[in-house]
Amino acid sequence: MKTNLISIALIALITSCGGPQQSGEKSGAKSLSGAIKIDGSSTVYPITEAIAEEFRVDHPKVKVTIGISGTGGGFKKFSRGETDISDASRPIKDKEKAACKENNIEYLSLTVAYDGMAVLINPGNDWVDYLTTAELKKMWEPEAQNKIMKWNQIRPEWPNLEMHLFGPGVASGTFDYFTDVIVGESGKSRGDFTASEDDNVLVQGIATDKNALGFFGLAYYEENKDKLKLAGVDNGNGPVYPSIETVKNGTYAPLSRPIFIYISSAAVKRAEVVEFIRFYLEHAGHLVSEVGYIPLPKEEYSAQLETFNEFAVSYQ
């Protein structure tokens, strides 16, 4: 009885997987070969790497390569037709759109995961519980430079102690995003904070300084829970702490962002690319959380897959 059930389930699984595959697949799945070139954001890299690693098990002859020249650098190559897929931690900019158009490259953007940004303090800090977005703005806006230096300037009941700020380097997508949603303009912030491109340096900095406050990707907090303390963020609807649930259901706003892959229309003419993207969307659900990011709800991945199938068929 039990084996029967399993075999029924298997058959159901096989047929359901077979459905979308037939539309674009001409050759058998096992004999796929060729090369897929991917470049772009180092934030998205761990996800794409995990997908490529698993994809290689099924399709060992397809050579998938991934670069990390950053979201902007990736789009530059993408718009010249040098890559098939671009990893991006922000949506494509108008300038980059124009470059794609100039070279007759059309594209499809797919959301593959969420990245939560955490505001962190030292475990010895017993006065901060949460911060409002207005307080974060007051702390980080350019006007705060050399003026807002103490905790009691943010909230009067907080102690008269120096405040030490830590954040990612100005070239990172994380910094762009944080300043965009908190300060109001991407890339604008005070300059007198400790910046590092290496998030592990920020972890060390906050972990050893009682008066520290910093922000970076949630994945780095997950790995250093014992050394850091999370601060909640209040956007007007009460303080919310970042977690898989609050990022997924959108209540942890505005410090969570979607991350994307962009697929070129020229590339979907090739069966191996089509198969790779399908594989991506079918397996992202569990692989994304394995590498420390937050997956979309299941239905979203199916919806993305449908959008992609339509896109792929229209360029075949």
Partner 1 sequence: MNNALKNRLIDRVFKYFAILSTLFGLVMLFIFLIDILNQGLSRIDWSFITSLPSRFPGKSGILTALTGTIWVFLLTTIISVPIGVAAGIYLEEYGKKSRMANILEINISNLAGVPSIIYGILGLEIFVRIMDLGASLLAGSLTLALLILPIIIVATREAVRAVPKTIKEASYALGATKWQTIWRQVLPVSSGNIITGIILALSRAIGETAPLIVIGALAYVPFVARTPMDEFTVLPIQIFNWISRPQKGFIINAASAIIILLAFVFIMNGIAVYIRYRTQKKIKW
Sites of contact with partner 1 (CB under 8 A):
39, 42, 45-46, 48-50, 52-53, 56, 63-69, 77, 82, 197-200, 217, 219-220, 222-224, 287, 290-292
- Name 297's Cβ contacts closer than 8 Å, sequence gap at least 6: 248
* Closest to partner 1 by CB, 75 or 311: 75
How would DSSP label each residue in 189-222?
--S-SEEES-HHHHHHHHHT-TTEEEEEEHHHHH
Distance from C-alpha of 316 to C-alpha of 35, rounded to nearest angstrom: 18
What amino acid occupies position 1? M
Minimum CB separation from partner 1 for residue 172, in Å?
10
The smaller minimum CB distance to partner 1, of residues 50 and 212, is found at 50
Give whichever of 202 and 212 is closer to partner 1, judged by the CB atom: 202
Residue 39 or residue 275: which is nearer to partner 1 going by CB?
A: 39
Could you tell me whether strands 107-121 and 229-234 are parallel, antiparallel, or unpaired per DSSP bridges?
Answer: antiparallel
Distance CA 32, CA 28 (A): 7
Of the pair 145, 204, the CB lying nearest partner 1 is at 204
Residues in the chain: 316
CB of 120 to partner 1, least distance (A): 13
Q: How far apart are CA 149 and CA 140, in angstroms?
A: 11
Taking the complex as a whole, the smallest distance from the CB of residue 217 to partner 1 amounts, in Å, to: 7
Cβ 148 to partner 1 shortest distance, Å? 29
Cβ 132 to partner 1, closest distance in Å? 27
Please state whether beta strands 85-88 and 34-40 pair in parallel, antiparallel, or not at all (unpaired): parallel
Nearer to partner 1 by Cβ, of 82 and 126: the residue is 82
Q: Which helix (H) or strand (E) holds 258?
A: strand 256-264
Could you tell me the smallest distance in angstroms from the CB atom of residue 238 to partner 1?
28
